[in-house]
Amino acid sequence: MLTLASKLKRDEGVKAGRPPGGPSDSSHRVSIRDRLLIKEVAELEANLPSTCKASFPDENKLHHFQLAVSPDEGYYQSGTFHFEIDVPEAYNMVPPKVKCQTRIWHPNIAETGEICLSLLREHSIDGTGWAPTRTLKDVVWGLNSLFTDLLNFDDPLNIDAAEHHLRDKEDFRNKVQDYIKHYAR
């Protein structure tokens, strides 16, 4: 990732080195979002949890990337879960859009991929939602923690999964393992 950030910085410098008074080409301007992402991708690379792997399908588009989370403890420890992260142009005033690409039986992730993680909320009553001071590192660490300490059965998105856990923890564990076997290997 550091080489990716370096490449984009270098490309930005080349674009900025155009002769003064030349034609203004908006395609050569680097957005505020992209400037932030150059810095944040380098920081993310240096602070990525050992259970996570980030990949950028297009090295020129830091605003779109994938994250693979392979928990090393808890209910989900034998699976690998893939997330798609899109950073909107209005970033860092709004949070990235995140979707789980792996079907999962989880109280905070719907089977269709929607995610309940407070820091991804644009507006939050309790103050734990998105703020411009948050970074991609916070998003990645938050997603990683959904499989351990942020696993929340009391405020579920997938109510059926949370109720299943409440009714029968062992059967819940078996269903999680069945989903991992079929979707998360």
**Residue 20 belongs to some domain of the structure:** no
CA distances from 32 to 21, 60, 135 (A): 22, 15, 14
Angle at 166 between CA 116 and CA 70, to 5 degrees: 50
Q: pLDDT in tens for each of the 185 residues of the chain?
A: 445 555 555 555 554 554 444 444 445 577 899 999 999 999 998 999 999 999 999 988 999 999 999 999 999 999 999 999 999 999 999 999 999 999 999 999 999 999 999 999 987 767 778 999 999 999 999 999 999 999 999 999 999 999 999 999 999 999 999 999 999 99
**Residue 147 belongs to some domain of the structure:** yes
**Nearest C-alpha neighbor of 87 from the set 29, 134, 157, 147:** 134
* Residue range(s) defining the domain that contains residue 68: 2-14+29-183
**Residue 74 belongs to some domain of the structure:** yes
Out of 37, 116, 119, 161, pick the active-site residue: 116
**Residue 21 belongs to some domain of the structure:** no
**Nearest C-alpha neighbor of 108 from the set 152, 171, 143:** 152
Predicted model pTM: 0.84
**Residue 24 belongs to some domain of the structure:** no
User: Helix count (H) and strand count (E) of the chain?
Assistant: 5, 4
Considering its fold, how many domains does the chain have in total? 1
What CATH number should be reported for the domain holding residue 87? Answer: 3.10.110.10
For residue 116, indicate whether it is catalytic: yes
**Residue 19 belongs to some domain of the structure:** no
